[in-house]
Structure 1
Amino acid sequence: MATNPTNYKLNHSMIRVKDPKRSVEFYEFLGLKLLNKIQNPDAKFDLYFLAYDSPKALSHGNHWTDREGIVELTHNYGTENDDNYKIANGNTDPRGFGHLCISVDNIQAACKRIEDAGYKFQKKLTDGKMRNIAFALDPDGYWVEVIGQKPLEQTEDVKTTDTATYRMNHTMIRIKDPEASLTFYKNVLGMDLKRTSENKNGGFNLYFLGYGGPAPEVADGVSSTADLEGLLELTWNYGTEKDADFKYHDGNAEPQGFGHICISVDDLDAACARFEENKVNWKKRLTDGRMKNIAFVLDPDGYWIEVVQNEKLKTRSNW
């Protein structure tokens, strides 16, 4: 079988957590549902997969490999009892990963709900110049951006918010060279560039990529990608591409935090053969090690990208 990148999905983003009970509770409070838990007692770690799954969710009822916008929490046994264990959230040195992002029906009410529950913010709506985004903090200090699906003026007098309508919108990573990264994600992984945001005064650009074709047209005041899931935001700070010694942190070397993004594909063997033809840098080929159902390729900055089979399209594993 040939592989068709238009069938790929940006399935999940993995972050390491100190205390899975606290982290699962936080993400469930944001409206996500625990879809799957994979226990690995021999290797002393567990994986928790959470996603939006209400009847209003984009992937409601789908097998976890046939989705976009999943958050994978990795817990290494014992960290919850280690006073010295702390994750690197990617926003202090060494930098790399930036944040997860949810889009919500009513950003004012959603942020109030999060604050009333006792969770902290890196940036509240009222902080700074940008009044249309906020950043909540999860129990490990990862940033979770909150954006609105509607213009602010449409929701400012509405006091309610419905988590069933939320989306796990995107994952942000910083990149050194936009030309190299955009070529990789578009030509090798088959993603579409859905939106570009140039911020010349701030000295940075944002590139939003994902599967499923161009972003829909949306009225002024709302991002054209706000109602989508499974996007990748690439942040480029001007000038990094000219510094031969500049390097971002992939999250897997110490200090650890973010682990990887993952794409699910229509045919795992054919997709990996295609990546081989494109001369990707491999972290793990399918044939490496004991786990023959996953592979890892490296993007131009060394971020890990897991590749798994979409089990709806072809059965391979008993996940």
Structure 2
Amino acid sequence: MLKWFRKKSEEPVPEGIETEAVEAEASPPDRDASGEEEIREAQGGFLARLRDRLAKSRERLADSVDRLVLGRKHIDAALLDELEEVLITADLGVQTTRILLDRVLDRVKRKELEDPAKLREALREEIQAILSVDAPPFDPRRAKPFVVMIIGVNGVGKTTTIGKLAHGFRRSGLAPMLVAADTFRAAAVEQLERWAERIGVPIIRQQSGADPSAVVFDALDAALARQADVVLIDTAGRMHTKVNLMEELKKVHRVIQRKMPEAPHEILLVLDATTGQNAMSQARLFQEALGITGLILTKLDGTAKGGVIVPISHELKLPIRYIGIGEGVDDLRPFDAAEFARAVL
């Protein structure tokens, strides 16, 4: 995976709410704020920042586990029953909770786990194992141009995520291009244009209401002509017309393949962590309709529902490619299962 940081709901989302959510995080931070973030990262390290941003999720899970085992001498049925409730309320879901409990119980039976004080460490190891999905690395250098479709419902931070991705690729020495294929929302196009101007990358767009597939077709022509390294395609996400939406996304996908048979190289679904289990419903829907190669989880810094990432990864067997831990331009980071597990446990 390209780690640039080493360099210096199934239910419809009301359009009004979505617009507010997008505009609230639309503007990239100024250069001074970004510089301060980099200084703090250099001083405290990324893991420390991740732990800080995941404080709410950690309080819901790790602290609850600690309180549960306090004063306990043995891991017994009563303790496991209480642990089940803790895991479910941490948005790990019933199925994932059952798997984690079965693995913990298996360790207990084999005498590998007897001390309740070590229960949190055991859970951390098992969560890390679930999140470590066997998948090809995310390598934007394996094709030129490397075409990425970004999908997701309105309001999850999709357009902002694209801007941050492009910023990271550019800092890594790649030449990204943005494609405004969400042509039905003028605000989405304007937001993407602001990002393109801010980070200094080209954008392909057409007038409002244009056929998204036509925009994408022209964009791929432009990417080939300009020798772009990465093409990031912003798509619509109007869940209240989900049948039409899915057909539109399928059409965009077909057009990409006609132009470049091996593309798109990645189809990344953006999910809002604050929606909890509703993010699972969205993931299932997009996976069934289009197929997904990876996930991006945003807004982890503002929720206690970060645990939802575990059941989504387990059920869909999809890699988490990136996580958003803040509003800063550098706060979208390549996902590391070990770092995440340590941060929440």
Q: What TM-score, normalized to structure 1?
A: 0.28
- Looking at secondary structure, tell me which structure has more strand per residue: 1
Larger radius of gyration: 2
- Looking at secondary structure, tell me which structure has more helix per residue: 2
Q: What TM-score, normalized to structure 2?
A: 0.26
Give the number of the structure with larger relative contact order, counting CA–CA contacts within 8 Å between residues 6 or more apart.
Answer: 2
